[in-house]
Structure 1
Amino acid sequence: MVQAWIYNASDPASPRAPHKYTPNRAVPLSTLDSLGVQQWTREQTTSSPDFVDKIRSQRGYVNTDTVCLSREKLPDYDATLQKFFTVHMHEDEEIRYLLEGSGYFDVQAPRKEGEEDEEWIRIALTAGEMIILPAGMYHRFTLDENNFLRCMRLFKEDPKWTPLNRAPELEDNQYRRAYVETYLKPSSSVQAA
């Protein structure tokens, strides 16, 4: 099952470390749901594509590809992981189905009323789990300390991956505005379990 917690930004460890508070500040899946993050877990089987085919059909995904993130397979490994960890958004959904390995998506939590510091929710994913981040949501990605992940990416059109790095002018982007209007409310706060 997908796990999530408040990211401890004061932890000086590598971004690939868990960055948990002590005690951990777990985030219930209902909070992810309220932010538009959808997730599924499926027991890994070697020959049953029905799980992915069902999601593809329901959501209109017509193309897929598979990527492997490891020091051996990814050119410019460290620079590429740094690029993935730069806060960005997309103008379409980001959907990933993990086939092997593990990693973290961090999503921006709603600001608590009266507070200016932003919090991040770290979402840990392992093989057999699928996640969809909505268009317009600020997020970042990194591998965990295992430094390996193989995943399927799904697309509604031709495969593309166009990150828009966070910048003040993105607040006027129609996809960002739609995300904020739909999911972020001024009085929202992150619920820890």
Structure 2
Amino acid sequence: MRAYYHDNKDEVDFREEHDSGVAVSESKLSAIGVLYYFFDNEEDVNGLAKERNYKNRDQVVLSKDNFPGGETALKAKLDSFYEEHLHEDEEIRYILDGEGYFDVRDDEDRWIRTKLTKGDLLILPSGIYHRFTLSQKNYVKALRLFKDEPKWLALNRPADNNKYRQEYLNSIKV
């Protein structure tokens, strides 16, 4: 994983690196509730899943070849994933192949971009504003883990009065 501040050049395709040149440490990510792990295999992921009580999982492949509707449908899905939003559950992704970006808001409301590749596992806390996109390679295969049945409700910003958003802000003392 590489983490850095986003360059905020919105006129450039969101699948580009958008690297401002300012690195972000894992400790900074941890301070805002984002947890990172690297695992060589799914057996190690299973250990974390047991430890954190993740009961459900599935796999997703995002690519123009594997996405119903091809490039146009994939682009539309990426546009929706890139809308700033939060979830009321943790979002856990383990990259099996390919690469993608999760952008998360820090405690000063700046975007931090994390580039994930094979073996990277990222846990986003419930209530954190974030977004996702593929890289220019336009391909990722990921394992999604869930504590309970998957909820696919994305609450677009602003959702500041949401209970989970308030709990998140209290947890990082903002």
Q: What amino acid does structure 1 have at the position aligned with 2:77?
A: T
Q: CA deviation at 1:184?
A: 4.5
Q: What's the counterpart of residue 99 of structure 2?
A: 102
* Partner Cα distance (1:64, 1:128) in 2: 16
Residues 29-178 of structure 1 aligned to structure 2 (within 5 Å): 29-43=26-40, 45=41, 49-75=42-68, 76-111=73-108, 118-167=109-158, 170-178=159-167
Amino acid of the structure 2 residue aligned with 1:124: K
Assess, with a 3 A threshold, how the Cα gap between structure 1 residues 15 and 92 changes in structure 2: closer, same or farther.
same
Q: Which residue identity does 1:173 align to in structure 2?
A: N
SS at match of 1:172: coil
Whole-Å Cα distance in 1 between the matches of residues 137 and 54 of structure 2?
Answer: 30
Give the Å deviation of 1:109: 1.6
The aligned length equals 170
**For the Cα contact (< 8 Å) 2:39–2:45, is it kept in 1?**
no
Q: What is the percent sequence identity of the aligned residues?
A: 41
AA aligned to 2:161 is D
d(CA) in 2 for partners of 1:174 and 1:36? 16
CA shift in 2, pair 1:184/1:146, >3 Å: farther
Whichever residue aligns with residue 157 of structure 2, its letter is R
Task: Name the one with the larger strand percent.
Answer: 2
Task: Give ranges in structure 2 of 5+ residues lacking alignment.
Answer: none
Partner of 2:7, secondary structure, is coil
Secondary structure, in 3 states, of the residue corresponding to 2:78? helix
List runs of 5+ in structure 1 lacking aligned partners.
Answer: 112-117, 186-193
Task: Quote the Cα distance in structure 2 between the aligned partners of 1:29 and 1:12.
Answer: 28
Deviations 1:141-160 (A, max 9, x none): 00011100000001111233
Give the TM-score, by structure 1 length. 0.84
Distance in 1 (alpha carbons) for counterparts of 2:4 and 2:131: 15
3-state secondary structure, aligned to 1:31: helix
Q: TM-score by structure 2 length? A: 0.93
2:6 maps to 1:7: yes
SS in 2 for 1:123: strand
Alpha-carbon RMSD across the aligned residues, in angstroms, is 1.2
